[in-house]
Amino acid sequence: MPLNNFVLPAIALMVVFGLLRPALKRARFWRATITPLASIIGSGFLVMAPLLASLAGGNALFAMMAIVVVAYLIGEVIRFNIRYAEPVLPTAPLVLHAAERFSNIALALAYVVSVAFYVRLLASFAFEGVGVDSEVGAKLLTTAILLVIGLAGWRSGLSGLEWLEEYSVSIKLAIITALLFGLLHFDIVNGFSSGALQAEVQSLELQLRKLAGMLLVVQGFETSRYLGAEYSAPMRIQSMRFAQILSAGIYLVFIFSIMPLLQFLDGGKPDETALIGLVGHAAVVLPAMLVLAALASQFGAAVGDTLGAGGLAEEESRGRLPARLAYLVVTASGVILVWTTNVFEIITLASRAFAVYYLAQTLVALRVAYGFSGRWRRAAYFALFGLMAAILMGVAVFAVPVG
């Protein structure tokens, strides 16, 4: 184990250097992938494992599989709309425009809250990392970070925010890679065993509602939908799909490898700091590395949602509100939210707003598919989108939010 304290940082450094190679940084496909990837692997990466331990016990991995599969199918709805709905929206029927506008309003509200939430959580990690407990200090730091994001977007546009996002995502992925190596090494040396991992006693209804709420932890892939000003539809479709597959693999390997340690959590409490302390069993260096990953994770997710909100505002206003100015509006709204509201209380509304947005996008997809000529093709799309609509309606109405 002492060797891990040197090997794991070395692995992280090698991954960082690999991800920041000029050739990769210039690759448009990777740049298009970064935005959805940053949002998907956000705050959920740290809270998901304890939550699933509490909910499903030894079946946590299967619960995670269910979440990523449903999320991927929702991603297929968004990709369908990029390919088929976007080209017809300018001349689409009124009902299609109404569904699209309704979904955009829901998403805009969710983005404002989620950006503030991500950065507020980042500030909490930063202060806790240095052993300081200051509510006002955390709000001041949150304000400063939001202003940096907003000003970077206003001055440099999408490329400026992508630059910030690129470094935060690279750091996060590097530390996650080292973390997975450390956990798998621990499992091999000590023997993989999750037999003592028991779920909390709760009704099936509550379990399903919590599982529905966790679906929204892996949201973020929809940001690709609103990057049309910079990337073509085929590139957005392919990069979004790649981001979902990569993030799904990371989540599944993480849940699998962390399960032997989750049995030592106090009742599977969904607390990020508890998980950070727990990985110290695998290597002494991992808690500090995971704190850094948490900071990069929240920052990257906030930037990703800011990018999505800016592109959404530009599209919805038909260019009257440029994305550069929208970045300032989103972050300024986040600052107001941080100082006037408890973000953790209204994250419930944000979670449900995302579900409503996905539901509205599914209705858009259903309306577009209705115009397809092939009977079997139309029936297949109707079956998939109808199932997604039913699931999302349940999430919007019944989900118990994560966190």
Domain ranges of the chain: 4-122+158-307+344-398
More confidently predicted of 202 and 312 = 312
What's the pLDDT score for residue 234?
A: 94
3 band by pLDDT with thresholds 50, 70 and 90: low
More confidently predicted of 300 and 245 = 245
What's the pLDDT score for residue 251?
A: 92
Residue 330 main-chain phi, psi, to 5 deg: -65, -50
More confidently predicted of 253 and 321 = 253
Per the document, the length of the chain is 403
CA triple 254-259-261, angle to 5 deg: 110
338 band by pLDDT with thresholds 50, 70 and 90: confident
What's the pLDDT score for residue 59?
A: 83
Token pair for residue 168? Answer: 């935060």
Res 20 pLDDT > 60: yes
pLDDT digits (tens, 9 = 90+) for 53-93: 777 777 888 889 998 999 999 999 999 999 999 888 877 77
Please, what's the b/e burial string for 361-391 (b: 16 or more CB within 10 A of its CB; e: otherwise)? bbbbbbbbbeeeeeeeeeeebeebbeebbeb
Instruction: Write out the E strands in 148-201.
Output: none
Res 210 pLDDT > 70: yes
What's the pLDDT score for residue 188?
A: 85
Token pair for residue 230? Answer: 């910079």
Q: Please tell me the pTM assigned to this model.
A: 0.84
322 band by pLDDT with thresholds 50, 70 and 90: confident
What's the pLDDT score for residue 230?
A: 83
161 band by pLDDT with thresholds 50, 70 and 90: low
**8 A C-beta contact, residue 329 and residue 112:** no
Spatial separation of the C-alpha atoms in residues 20 and 10, rounded to whole Å: 15
**8 A C-beta contact, residue 204 and residue 69:** no
Q: At what angle do helices 135-190 and 286-316 cross, to 10 degrees?
A: 120
Q: Average pLDDT in the 20-40 region?
A: 85
Instruction: State how far the alpha carbon of 186 is from the alpha carbons of 1, 194, 250, 260, 288, in Å.
Output: 8, 13, 17, 9, 17
C-beta atoms surrounding 287 within 10 Å: 19
**8 A C-beta contact, residue 330 and residue 307:** no
**8 A C-beta contact, residue 207 and residue 390:** no
3-state helix, strand, coil in the chain (%, to 5): 85, 0, 15
| Residue among 323, 319, 330 at smallest CA distance from 157 | 323
How close are the terminal C-alpha atoms of the chain, in Å? 32
Mark out the alpha helices in 191-285 (DSSP H runs): 204-215, 233-262, 272-278
CATH superfamily, domain at 4-122+158-307+344-398? Amino acid/polyamine transporter I (1.20.1740.10)
317 band by pLDDT with thresholds 50, 70 and 90: confident
158 band by pLDDT with thresholds 50, 70 and 90: low
Which residues contact residue 397 at a Cβ distance below 8 angstroms, ignoring those fewer than 6 apart? none
What's the pLDDT score for residue 243?
A: 94
pLDDT digits (tens, 9 = 90+) for 96-141: 888 888 888 888 878 888 788 778 777 877 776 677 767 788 888 8
For residue 328, give the H/E element and its range. Answer: helix 323-340
- The proportion of the chain whose per-residue pLDDT surpasses 90, expressed as a percent, equals 15
Question: Residue 294, SS3?
Answer: helix
Q: Average pLDDT in the 21-38 region?
A: 86
342 band by pLDDT with thresholds 50, 70 and 90: low
Number of H helices, E strands in the chain: 15, 0
Query: Half-sphere exposure of residue 2, counting CA atoms within 13 Å on the CB side?
Result: 0
Spatial separation of the C-alpha atoms in residues 61 and 52, rounded to whole Å: 8
51 band by pLDDT with thresholds 50, 70 and 90: confident
| Residue among 227, 174, 250, 171 at smallest CA distance from 36 | 227
Spatial separation of the C-alpha atoms in residues 172 and 303, rounded to whole Å: 14
C-beta atoms surrounding 27 within 10 Å: 12
Res 268 pLDDT > 50: no
